[in-house]
C-alpha cells in the first residue's frame, strides 16, 4: 500500500485528488494538509511514502516545505503540483529533493500512475516542464561555459551536463530533462569526472566552483 499525503490550500482540489487516488486499491490517502507547515508536521506524524505538494500556499510554500520534508524523512517522495506559470520554482525544488512535477491539468489515470512511478523511484517530468528545466540549465552566461570548456576540454553537451551537476540535478533528472537514457547520462558524467580528474560528484562541483570563481 502506498501512503499519500495531499498538500493543497484549495480544499475542493485536495478533495478531488483524494477521491481520484482513493479509487486505486494500491493507494491510501493518509492525510490532507493546507499549507507547508502542516505538511511538514503531517509528514512526521503520518509517515507518507509520497507527498503531493502544491507550490503557492500560505505560511510556507511548497518549495521550502519540500526541503524540510526531505531533511526529516529523506525516503519520502515529493511530487510538486504545479501550473506551468509556477515553473520558475522548479530548479529550487529539484535542489531540495523533489522527485518530479505534475501539472494541475493531469488526468485521473495519469495522476495514479505518477504516484505509483514516483514511489518506485522514477522522476516525473511532463514534457513542458522538462523543456523548461533544460532551457533553464542552458541559461548560463557564456563566460561560465567558456571557462569550463577551456579548463577541462569539455564538449558542448558535457558543459551542459556539468552545469546541471553544479545546479544540483540528480542523474535521473539530467537524463529526463535532456531526453537521455539513464546509462547515457551516467556515461557523460563519468567522462566529466575523468576530464576533471575527480572521482565524486562533490569533488567535481568543488573543482568547477573553484574555476568559475577564479
SS3 content of the chain, % helix, strand, coil (to 5): 60, 15, 25
DSSP category for residue 106: -
Measured between alpha carbons, how far is 100 from 119 in angstroms, rounded to an integer? 11
Q: Is residue 133 a part of any domain in this protein?
A: no
- Domain of residue 174, residue span: 140-213
Average pLDDT, rounded, for the chain: 89
Measured between alpha carbons, how far is 23 from 118 in angstroms, rounded to an integer? 18
Same domain, 95 and 187: no
- What CATH number should be reported for the domain holding residue 121? 3.40.50.2300
Least-confidence region, from 11-20, 50-59, 172-181: 172-181
Same domain, 148 and 113: no
Residue that has been written with the C-alpha cell 553544479 in this structure: 166
Phi, psi for residue 23 in degrees, rounded to 5:
-75, -10
Measured between alpha carbons, how far is 153 from 128 in angstroms, rounded to an integer? 32
Q: Is the pTM of this model over 0.75?
A: no
Same domain, 91 and 174: no
Is the pLDDT assigned to residue 141 strictly greater than 60?
no
Same domain, 89 and 192: no
Measured between alpha carbons, how far is 1 from 77 in angstroms, rounded to an integer? 14
Residue 184 neighbours by CB under 8 Å, 6+ apart: 175
Cβ proximity of 159 and 141 under 8 Å: no
Same domain, 12 and 80: yes
Is the pLDDT assigned to residue 54 strictly greater than 90?
yes
Q: Is residue 131 a part of any domain in this protein?
A: no
Domain count, the chain: 2
The share of the chain scoring above pLDDT 70, in percent, equals 92
Per-residue confidence (pLDDT) for residue 31, from 0 to 100: 97
- What CATH number should be reported for the domain holding residue 194? 1.10.10.10
Per-residue confidence (pLDDT) for residue 134, from 0 to 100: 67
Same domain, 95 and 153: no
Per-residue confidence (pLDDT) for residue 139, from 0 to 100: 59
Q: Is residue 185 a part of any domain in this protein?
A: yes
Same domain, 40 and 80: yes
C-alpha cell at position 191: 567522462
Mark which of 84, 101, 126 sits at the end of a domain.
Answer: 126
Q: Is residue 181 a part of any domain in this protein?
A: yes
Per-residue confidence (pLDDT) for residue 103, from 0 to 100: 86
Mark which of 74, 103, 126 sits at the end of a domain.
Answer: 126
Amino acid at each position: 500500500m502506498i501512503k499519500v499525503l495531499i498538500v493543497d490550500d484549495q480544499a475542493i482540489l485536495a478533495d478531488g485528488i483524494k477521491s481520484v487516488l482513493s479509487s486505486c486499491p494500491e493507494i491510501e490517502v493518509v492525510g490532507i494538509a493546507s499549507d507547508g507547515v502542516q505538511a511538514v508536521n503531517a509528514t512526521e506524524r503520518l509517515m507518507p511514502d509520497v507527498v503531493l505538494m502544491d507550490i503557492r500556499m500560505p505560511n510556507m510554500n511548497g518549495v521550502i516545505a519540500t526541503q524540510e520534508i526531505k531533511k526529516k524523512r529523506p525516503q519520502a517522495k515529493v511530487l510538486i503540483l504545479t501550473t506551468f506559470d509556477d515553473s520558475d520554482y522548479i530548479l529550487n525544488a529539484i535542489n531540495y529533493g523533489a522527485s518530479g512535477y505534475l501539472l494541475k491539468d493531469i488526468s485521473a489515470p495519469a495522476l495514479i500512475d505518477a504516484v505509483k512511478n514516483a514511489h518506485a523511484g522514477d522522476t516525473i517530468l511532463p514534457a513542458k516542464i522538462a523543456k523548461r528545466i533544460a532551457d533553464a540549465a542552458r541559461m548560463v552566461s557564456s563566460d561560465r561555459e567558456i571557462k569550463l570548456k577551456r579548463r577541462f576540454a569539455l564538449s558542448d553537451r558535457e558543459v551542459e551536463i556539468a552545469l546541471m551537476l553544479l545546479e544540483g540535478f540528480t542523474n535521473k533528472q539530467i537524463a529526463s530533462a535532456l531526453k537521455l537514457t539513464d546509462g547515457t547520462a551516467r556515461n557523460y558524467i563519468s567522462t566529466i569526472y575523468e576530464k576533471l580528474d575527480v572521482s565524486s560528484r562533490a569533488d567535481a562541483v568543488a573543482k568547477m566552483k573553484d574555476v568559475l570563481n577564479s
